[in-house]
A and B are shown apart, each in its own frame.
Chain A
């Protein structure tokens, strides 16, 4: 399946991916209305140290420990995409405790949010990728076993 991959040597640390992600998942049509003056809840986060930066989002693991660990049965994997049912989620943070990538965080109402590849929102394909000014985030089909 297609996944998001990052090239940390190309990342500028501009955090546009975070803004594009928050906008894509806001349900608003106007970016300023969606984000201006508001706390944003992106599903991708730029991390780094003094020398490098890179964006972290869900890896959509083949064998996702968040799905197995969720105490609310709220996380599932469908056609390779790991999804969260925010209606079922109670915000206990067990998924945060088990995800080895740090890919989940609480959203605006305390229930958890994570990257779902923009397949369910108006973008239809990852907004972080199309909006990255330096091509540091890509959405590709790769055979990770080769």
Chain B
């Protein structure tokens, strides 16, 4: 009987379990979980603060998921070291776990830069785990003034989550725009306005020079007082275990299209990894939930002697603030084309005759058709892209292609 070990208990681990069990019903699976919770939907922690969900509904899988899959979970446990030659994992408790194949799905940690005086701040938080959300819930009330450092996805979802709970929210960022990893300057302004209309204040191109207990002295001299500080500057992949074991690591653990690391019998999946971005063909950390699941599943299949490939990962995000929906995907290279009306805007980035990326604000219907143009790198001269720009519709495809999509007819190429 094979022994599988998974380091981490997030969505990539759940994918890995399901991948293994799709081929091997009997092998032993052990999950090492630093968190005390069964796998939950991490991106929903802001929705929890918003009271749009609760811990019960945030469970990623059914209650009996681990039992049904014959998985042993070691909660509040940590992997300290991987020995890729002996094929063992040393735990914090000192115990050794032996494996035949190992998956590192260790996730990411908050990146907290050094700030002068940060040690004087009592109420400081990060925002990545369910326990972070519980802690913030406890630390805030209607009179609380919140300062969030970082206007990225995490910082802003945190702001939205806290919005109805607290008196005042200020968000600062060194960048000149919000969501700088996914939006261009103009689109960022549109989204910023929506947040400002809801009372969130921004200090951009401005960072904290020094903290003094419950105040931040900004680089421009402004003084911001707060009761609660949230540090949401960024995240870093937890790649240390692989690096220390001698595996190849860049920003994240380097993996191939089979989710193999450079160490024998060691796979990796999820936010700790750096795989290939199919929209540009370069290595990139793609820390998003859909990729975590798909990478985990692929790793699981291959760990159980299967032959699975996941080679069309692209960056993509569906995110919304106060009812304004935003979708982005791919890479913003090549020529930009824009479609704007009262409902919102669509921006497309085209290079070498293929769609490479898009930004949709407010107009998100059937956006998956655009996403698949990027994933599959479909030559745009094969479709009616003029129609497609206005409306994501398979009417822009050939009748033959539609028959394969909706008519149950194969395309005749196989």
Binding site for B on A (CB under 8 A): 3, 5-8, 47-49, 52, 54-56, 59, 65, 68-69, 71-73, 87-88, 90-102, 105, 140, 142, 144-146
Query: How far does the alpha carbon of A47 sit from the alpha carbon of B387 in the complex, in Å?
Result: 12
Which one of B52, B53, B320, B384 lies within 8 Å of A93 (CB-CB)?
B320
Q: Which of A3, A5, A94, A105 has the most C-beta atoms of chain B within 10 angstroms of its own C-beta? A: A94
Q: Does B263 contact A (CB under 8 A)?
A: no
Contact A98 B320 (CB under 8 A): no
Query: How far does the alpha carbon of A95 sit from the alpha carbon of B327 in the complex, in Å?
Result: 11
Closest chain-B Cβ to A132's Cβ sits at a distance in Å of 14
Binding site for A on B (CB under 8 A): 15, 41, 43-44, 47, 52-53, 57-61, 289-290, 293-294, 297, 316-320, 325, 327, 329, 364-369, 371-372, 384, 387, 392-396, 399, 402-403, 405-408, 410
Query: How far does the alpha carbon of A94 sit from the alpha carbon of B364 in the complex, in Å?
Result: 10
Closest chain-A Cβ to B90's Cβ sits at a distance in Å of 32
Contact B395 A47 (CB under 8 A): yes
Which 7 residue pairs are nearest across A and B when measured between Cβ atoms? A102-B366, A69-B290, A100-B372, A73-B60, A99-B368, A49-B395, A97-B318
Known: A73-B61, A92-B318, A94-B290. Contact between A100 and B369, CB under 8 A? yes
Known: A98-B368, A102-B392. Contact between A72 and B406, CB under 8 A? no
Contact B394 A47 (CB under 8 A): yes
Closest chain-B Cβ to A93's Cβ sits at a distance in Å of 4
Q: Which of B407, B408, B410 has the most C-beta atoms of chain A within 10 angstroms of its own C-beta? A: B408
Further contacts, 10 of them, CB under 8 A, given A52-B399, A88-B53, A93-B364: A8-B402, A48-B395, A49-B396, A68-B15, A69-B290, A72-B57, A92-B320, A94-B290, A96-B365, A98-B368
Closest chain-B Cβ to A127's Cβ sits at a distance in Å of 18
Contact B407 A8 (CB under 8 A): yes
CB neighbours (8 Å) of B43 from chain A are 71, 92
CB neighbours (8 Å) of B293 from chain A are 68-69
- In the complex, residue of chain A having the shortest beta-carbon distance to the beta carbon of B327: A97
Contact B365 A105 (CB under 8 A): yes
- In the complex, residue of chain B having the shortest beta-carbon distance to the beta carbon of A5: B408
CB neighbours (8 Å) of A6 from chain B are 406-407
- In the complex, residue of chain A having the shortest beta-carbon distance to the beta carbon of B410: A144
CB neighbours (8 Å) of A47 from chain B are 393-395
CB neighbours (8 Å) of A102 from chain B are 365-366, 368-369, 392-394
Contact B319 A92 (CB under 8 A): yes
- How many residue pairs at the A-B interface have CB separations less than 8 Å? 121
- In the complex, residue of chain B having the shortest beta-carbon distance to the beta carbon of A50: B395
Query: How far does the alpha carbon of A19 sit from the alpha carbon of B330 in the complex, in Å?
Result: 36
30 A-B residue pairs with Cβ-Cβ distance under 8 Å, sorted by A, are A3-B408, A6-B406, A7-B407, A8-B399, A8-B407, A47-B393, A48-B393, A49-B395, A54-B406, A55-B406, A68-B293, A71-B43, A71-B289, A73-B61, A88-B53, A90-B47, A90-B52, A91-B320, A92-B320, A93-B318, A94-B318, A96-B365, A97-B317, A98-B316, A98-B371, A99-B368, A100-B372, A102-B365, A105-B365, A145-B410
Closest chain-B Cβ to A145's Cβ sits at a distance in Å of 7
Q: Give chain B's interface secondary structure class.
A: mixed
Which one of B15, B318, B396, B405 lies within 8 Å of A96 (CB-CB)?
B318
Query: How far does the alpha carbon of A95 sit from the alpha carbon of B289 in the complex, in Å?
Result: 12
Contact A96 B41 (CB under 8 A): no
Q: Which of B61, B290, B325 has the most C-beta atoms of chain A within 10 angstroms of its own C-beta? A: B290
CB neighbours (8 Å) of B44 from chain A are 71-72, 90
Which one of A48, A68, A144 lies within 8 Å of B294 (CB-CB)?
A68
Query: How far does the alpha carbon of A65 sit from the alpha carbon of B406 in the complex, in Å?
Result: 17
Closest chain-A Cβ to B175's Cβ sits at a distance in Å of 24
Contact B290 A96 (CB under 8 A): no
Closest chain-B Cβ to A11's Cβ sits at a distance in Å of 10
Query: How far does the alpha carbon of A102 sit from the alpha carbon of B366 in the complex, in Å?
Result: 4
CB neighbours (8 Å) of B405 from chain A are 59, 101
Closest chain-A Cβ to B313's Cβ sits at a distance in Å of 12
CB neighbours (8 Å) of A88 from chain B are 53, 57
CB neighbours (8 Å) of A140 from chain B are 408
Query: How far does the alpha carbon of A69 sit from the alpha carbon of B396 in the complex, in Å?
Result: 25
Contact A69 B408 (CB under 8 A): no
Query: How far does the alpha carbon of A113 sit from the alpha carbon of B329 in the complex, in Å?
Result: 23
Contact A68 B406 (CB under 8 A): no
Closest chain-A Cβ to B397's Cβ sits at a distance in Å of 10
Contact B52 A100 (CB under 8 A): no
Query: How far does the alpha carbon of A105 sit from the alpha carbon of B318 in the complex, in Å?
Result: 13
Contact A49 B387 (CB under 8 A): yes
Closest chain-B Cβ to A128's Cβ sits at a distance in Å of 13
Query: How far does the alpha carbon of A97 sit from the alpha carbon of B325 in the complex, in Å?
Result: 11
CB neighbours (8 Å) of B289 from chain A are 69, 71, 94
Known: A88-B53, A100-B369. Contact between A93 and B325, CB under 8 A? yes
CB neighbours (8 Å) of A59 from chain B are 405-406
Contact A96 B59 (CB under 8 A): no
CB neighbours (8 Å) of A97 from chain B are 316-318, 327, 329, 364, 367-368, 371
Closest chain-B Cβ to A60's Cβ sits at a distance in Å of 12
Query: How far does the alpha carbon of A141 sit from the alpha carbon of B58 in the complex, in Å?
Result: 36
Q: Which of B293, B329, B410 has the most C-beta atoms of chain A within 10 angstroms of its own C-beta? A: B293
